[in-house]
Amino acid sequence: MRILLSNDDGYFAPGLAALHEALSGLGEIVVVAPEQNRSGASNSLTLDRPLMLKQAASGFYFVNGTPTDCVHLAVTGMLDSLPDIIVSGINSGANMGDDTIYSGTVAAATEGYLLGIPSIAVSMTSFDGLNFATAGRVARELVERYIRNPVSGPVLLNVNVPDIPYEALTGTEVTRLGRRHKAEPVVRMTSPRKETVYWIGAAGAAADAGPGTDFHAIEQNRVSITPLQIDLTHTGQLPAIRQWMA
């Protein structure tokens, strides 16, 4: 069993170290992660400059690029054989609802999925980072389950874990993505050099957060597992657009 790990917080992130420790003993583990924090990088590939692969004292490999770059480089150029599974994380902060579009954590797993490899993105639902061990244990259980009973065909799972002790979890739920309200406006500020600068505003509050959603599961202290797909076609609008174009 070969397991490829990546993330978007950088090769030095405590969540990545916790994930590596949690999966230790399940097989050969290779870590390829960004050189620096690339949160919000989404599925971007670096095409305007070459990428460099280096190895840290920890044994982790790091790349001067995005999470997608890391997985793409590892699978298509670095490794002599394909990994059996890819796990991305453990992210600091939730990736639920609309967040998944922007998430570098989810993007790393998505790249593996697009390359035909079962992939899991794991996030903790707070930035406090008090219970990485909980998310690590959840990740290990999922990988062990996959080893015992592989899913037919490539699968992409988005996993969110409450930042609480493992014993306080109330279960696991397979969910759909919820939806958020419109994001807050950008924050305009003046820099010390008297330049106008802007910070991206905070994500909107949950709008669609009823039973069955990832938001609701986390609110109930349950682990949320959402299977994702990449087909962005709005099939429901195909007849209307065809009529509009006629």
Residue 116 has pLDDT above 70, yes or no: yes
Closest by CA position to 19, among listed 85, 74, 100: 85
Across the range 88-104, mean pLDDT stands at: 93
Closest by CA position to 109, among listed 45, 50, 155, 76: 155
| Res 65: pLDDT | 95
Comparing 38-47, 120-129, 131-140, 218-227, the range with the smallest average pLDDT is 38-47
| Res 246: pLDDT | 87
Across the range 29-41, mean pLDDT stands at: 92
Q: Using one digit for the tens of pLDDT, what is the confidence trace for 158-207?
A: 999 999 999 999 999 999 998 776 767 888 889 899 899 888 777 767 66
Secondary structure of residue 232 in the 3-state scheme: coil
Band of pLDDT at residue 37, cut at 50, 70 and 90: confident
Give me the phi and psi of 190, to 5 degrees please: -115, 125
Closest by CA position to 72, among listed 60, 57, 88: 88
CA distance 39 to 10: 9
Strands 187-190 and 196-199: antiparallel
- Please, what's the b/e burial string for 131-150 (b: 16 or more CB within 10 A of its CB; e: otherwise)? bbebbbbbbbebbeebeeee
When the pLDDT of each residue in the chain is averaged and rounded to a whole number, the result is 93
3-state class percentages of the chain: helix first, strand second, coil last, to nearest 5? 30, 25, 45
CA distance 199 to 222: 32
* pTM for the model: 0.90
| Res 236: pLDDT | 93
